[in-house]
Amino acid sequence: MSNPSNIDQIVQDIFADMPLKEKAAIANLDEDKVSYLQYAFDVCIRGQLGKDDEISKDVMHRMWEVLQETHRVRNLK
């Protein structure tokens, strides 16, 4: 796995430019659906991270984890 602090910095940089609607959409994905975003994500960041597929997987999964905590729609009773 890549350096967690580097992954967190990349994730924060991506979040800085990401609209709230997109953050909420990612946050509400089931974990098994995150892989569907992987291809599009790889295409978008390939120029920034090079061809390191492992880093892009780590970044995408970390984004999902963070957004699960901060942007997930929850049912209120």
Q: What is the DSSP string of 2-70?
A: --HHHHHHHHHHHHHHS-HHHHHHHHTS-GGGHHHHHHHHHHHHHHHHTT-HHHHHHHHHHHHHHHHHH
Cα–Cα distance measured from residue 50 to residue 46, given in angstroms and rounded to the nearest whole number? 5
Task: Count the Cβ atoms, other than its own, within 10 Å of residue 2.
Answer: 16
Tens-digit pLDDT profile for residues 4-59: 778 899 899 989 999 999 999 888 888 888 888 877 777 766 656 555 667 778 88
pLDDT at 39: 75
